[in-house]
Amino acid sequence: AQSVSQHNHHVILSEAASLELGCNYSYGGTVNLFWYVQYPGQHLQLLLKYFSGDPLVKGIKGFEAEFIKSKFSFNLRKPSVQWSDTAEYFCAVFNDYKLSFGAGTTVTVRA
Amino acid sequence: ETGVTQTPRHLVMGMTNKKSLKCEQHLGHNAMYWYKQSAKKPLELMFVYNFKEQTENNSVPSRFSPECPNSSHLFLHLHTLQPEDSALYLCASSYNRGQDGYTFGSGTRLTVV
């Protein structure tokens, strides 16, 4: 079964700081990779996704993620966060017709 | 709105009650899913329906009973739940088998007392 690990449970940072959230998965075959965001009281929204091609993918709201196949990683980054980026972030991996999620990372951005 | 609508948004029920959660999508998707979201745990896939046929039951206790009358509607019937079943229940839908990602509803916050 696929396992998805997110390294940080809670990240606290100030506005304009850079953000990097780690994500590793266990399955070594072909996978589709996703990052979802859940703002307080809202539904899960797709931030970005990777299927193939350029391992650096850009998503909405200035987020990007890098797929490193040799490390089974798909880390999320944003160069300069805003207070509105306060949310919970979930890494997800699709294989074997299932979408498996990590436990999520809560990001708190202080003004 | 995401195109996936869940009702009710909040539900409080006793352990002897019977209630149902409803999910509706108007995106033309053919697959629908139930997930359980508990604090600090990965989202747990409960059930998968593809073209209204159940294709996955992830060892879910029988006190949770899904129903998918068509590709646009999905229900989760609840009976004799336990307090540990309190969680956010998320419905999602997708094209095909979901390789392009899922679209999620806002969830039903369930509290079992």
- Supply the DSSP string of chain A, one letter for each residue: ---EEES-SEEEEETT--EEE-EEE---S--EEEEEEE-TTS-EEEEEEE-SS-SEEE-GGG-EEEEEGGGTEEEEEESS--GGG-EEEEEEEEETTEEEE---EEEEEE-
Please give the Cα distance from A111 to A14 (Å, whole number): 6
pLDDT, residue B109, reads 96
Please give the Cα distance from B64 to A90 (Å, whole number): 25
pLDDT, residue B100, reads 87
pLDDT, residue A55, reads 95
pLDDT confidence of B97, banded at 50, 70, 90?
Answer: confident
Please give the Cα distance from A53 to A71 (Å, whole number): 17
Nearest by CB to B40, which of A36, A44, A103? Answer: A103
Interface check for B42 against chain A (CB to CB < 8 A): the answer is yes
The whole-angstrom distance between B40's CA and the closest CA on chain A is: 6
Interface check for B38 against chain A (CB to CB < 8 A): the answer is no
Residue B75 has pLDDT above 80, yes or no: yes
Asked if B42 and A102 come within 8 Å (Cβ–Cβ), the reply is yes
Among residues A33, A35, A32, A41, the alpha carbon closest in space to that of A20 is found at: A35
CB A86 within 8 A of CB A96: no
Q: Which residues of chain A have pLDDT under 70?
A: none
Residue B33 has pLDDT above 90, yes or no: yes
Q: What is the mean pLDDT of residues B29-45?
A: 91
State the average pLDDT for chain B: 93
pLDDT confidence of B22, banded at 50, 70, 90?
Answer: very high
pLDDT confidence of B57, banded at 50, 70, 90?
Answer: confident
Asked if B45 and A99 come within 8 Å (Cβ–Cβ), the reply is yes
Please give the Cα distance from B12 to A100 (Å, whole number): 28
Interface check for B48 against chain A (CB to CB < 8 A): the answer is yes
The whole-angstrom distance between A65's CA and the closest CA on chain B is: 16
Q: Which of B25, B102, B103 has the most A C-beta neighbours within 10 Å, making it the best mutation to test the interface with A?
A: B102
pLDDT, residue A39, reads 94
Interface check for B101 against chain A (CB to CB < 8 A): the answer is yes
CB B24 within 8 A of CB B73: yes
Residue B2 has pLDDT above 80, yes or no: no
Q: Which of A4, A32, A97, A100 has the most B C-beta neighbours within 10 Å, making it the best mutation to test the interface with B?
A: A97
Q: What is the mean pLDDT of residues B75-91?
A: 96
pLDDT confidence of B96, banded at 50, 70, 90?
Answer: confident
Please give the Cα distance from B107 to A28 (Å, whole number): 32
Taking the alpha carbons at both ends of chain A, their separation in whole angstroms is 40
